[in-house]
């Protein structure tokens, strides 16, 4: 799965100062972690601001699409690597993929990017 997503991720790191393959770390979370994250993002409290309720409703729609249609969920986080090769924190551009397998075995999902400093 990492190999399939590597080419997508590396195209966002086109700064000449960054070696897009050697300087990136890929962190893969289990399906249980991905499911828990999606469930958490999908919940919104009644007393929350309208903005956060809408965000929760949007994630609930994503969950409703994923659950019946995809298996073998994974969450992959891509970002700058520490010297030991592990994923650094708060160090620039990060890409989070939420992917799974369709009935024919193809990968399907989406990604979001964030800049963390």
Q: Residues 83-107, buried b or exposed e (16+ Cβ, 10 A)? A: eeeebbeeeebbbbbbbbbeeeeee
State the sign of the Cα–Cα–Cα–Cα dihedral 60, 61, 62, 68.
positive
pLDDT in tens, 76-113: 998 888 889 899 988 888 998 999 999 999 999 989 88
Q: What is the DSSP letter of 30?
A: -
pLDDT in tens, 21-55: 568 888 998 889 888 988 888 887 666 788 888 88
Q: What's the whole-model pTM score?
A: 0.75
What residue ranges do the domains of the chain occupy? 2-14+26-116
State the sign of the Cα–Cα–Cα–Cα dihedral 70, 75, 77, 78.
negative
Tell the CATH topology of 2-14+26-116: Nuia (3.40.1460)
- Using DSSP, state whether 102 is helix, strand or coil: coil
């Amino acid at each position: 799965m990492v190999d399939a997503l590597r080419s997508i991720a590396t195209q966002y790191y086109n700064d000449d100062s960054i070696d897009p393959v050697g300087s990136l770390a890929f962190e893969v979370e289990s399906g249980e972690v991905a499911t828990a994250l999606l469930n958490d993002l999908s919940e919104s409290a009644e007393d929350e601001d309208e903005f956060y309720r809408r965000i929760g409703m949007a994630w609930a729609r994503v969950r409703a699409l994923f659950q019946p249609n995809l298996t073998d969920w994974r969450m992959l986080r891509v970002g700058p690597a520490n010297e030991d090769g592990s994923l650094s924190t708060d160090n620039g551009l990060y890409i989070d993929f939420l992917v799974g397998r369709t009935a024919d075995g193809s990968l399907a999902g989406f990604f979001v990017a964030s800049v963390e400093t």
